[in-house]
Amino acid sequence: MSQIVSPSETAAAEETPLDRLRLVMGDEALARLQAARVMVLGIGGVGSNCVEALARGGVGELVLIDRDTVAPSNINRQAVAFHSTVGRPKAEVMADMVADINPACRVVALRRFLSKENTEKTLSSLPRPDYVVDAIDTVTQKLIVAKWCQDEGVRLISSMGGANKLNPERLRFSTIEKTSCDPLCRVMRKECRKRGIRHLQVLYSSEVPLPVTPRDGIADGGRRPEKGITLGTMSYMPPIMGQMIAGRVICELAQLRNELDDQVPLR
């Protein structure tokens, strides 16, 4: 007995996850992306959302490094954070998500703390990336990553601070030398000059951060964060930052540029 298949069922069977990407990119650009390897350091609010977008965007290989496990406080902003994943290593959860989103994507997931002593050695021991995304929090390690990428000739985008900020429209790409307002950028500018790190590409917010409110009370005079104080984060800021970084990485790897948009002046 023959089986009748409806047109909608036939169309659904022929669809692939790459269809809409191919319409924008074309086959050659998509092939470049599928052949690329991206390393993401830190699978927190920025990093996890960046990895999700890279996987959905057709990147062929991802190298993921993070030391932490999912905590309840991560649920407000991290792509890996659900009540069902609390307590699991973030790198492991992220690798499972990528496999479910894009089974063709090859994943190297490493649960490791990047310390001052092991960061350079760890980076050199892993498959050489075409692009590095720095989504880690600690200045010392960010500087080591930046110097390693500069010395090795590897493209890098470093995420700056999104904590205690409200306005995603203030996010922008720049080199570290041209940043302003962000406390993390201020430290990074100074330390990059000392170490000869030049033209570090960053995503930062020009918004002045809100005063810090410690968990046990109001900070006097809106003082700047002291070491050990936990900063607040809006649910949308790190995900938007991660998506923006993924967009920059994808377009550069695929060699995509909207020349029509270049003809329209910014207002």
Q: Would you list the domain boundaries of the chain? A: 24-255
Query: Can you give the pLDDT at residue 267?
Result: 57
pLDDT in tens, 98-115: 999 999 999 999 999 999
Neighbour-count burial of 215, counting CB atoms closer than 10 A to its CB (0-12 exposed, 13-18 middle, 19+ buried): exposed
Asked if the model's pLDDT at residue 193 lies above 50, the reply is yes
Asked if the model's pLDDT at residue 53 lies above 80, the reply is yes
Residues 141-185: tens digit of each pLDDT:
999 999 999 999 999 999 998 999 999 999 999 999 999 989 999
pTM over 0.75: yes
As a whole number of angstroms, the distance between CA 118 and CA 121 comes to 5
Instruction: Identify the sign of the CA torsion 216, 167, 75, 40.
Output: negative
Query: What digits encode the pLDDT tens for the residues 25-35?
Result: 999 999 999 99
pLDDT at 222: 46
201 CB neighbour count, 10 Å cutoff: 18
Please determine, for residue 16, whether its predicted confidence score (pLDDT) is greater than 60: yes
- Where do the DSSP E strands lie in 119-266? 131-134, 155-159, 171-175, 201-205
CB 195 within 8 A of CB 185: no
For residue 42, is pLDDT > 90?
Answer: yes
Average pLDDT, rounded, for the chain = 91
At 225 the pLDDT is 45
Q: Where are the beta strands (DSSP E) in 73-196?
A: 106-111, 131-134, 155-159, 171-175
Q: How confident is the model at residue 40 (pLDDT cuts 50, 70, 90)?
A: very high
What's the pLDDT score for residue 218?
Answer: 52
Share above pLDDT 70 across residues of the chain, in percent, rounded to a whole number: 87
Residue 176's pLDDT is what? Answer: 98
Those residues with Cβ within 8 angstroms of residue 226's Cβ, 6 or more apart along the chain or in another chain? 212
Residue 134 in this model has a pLDDT that exceeds 80: yes
> Among 46-55, 85-94, 167-176, 257-266, whose mean pLDDT is lowest?
257-266
What is the DSSP secondary structure assignment for residue 62, as one 8-state letter? E
| φ, ψ for residue 24, nearest 5 deg | -85, -45
Q: Is the pLDDT of residue 224 over 50?
A: no
- What is the CATH class of 24-255? alpha beta
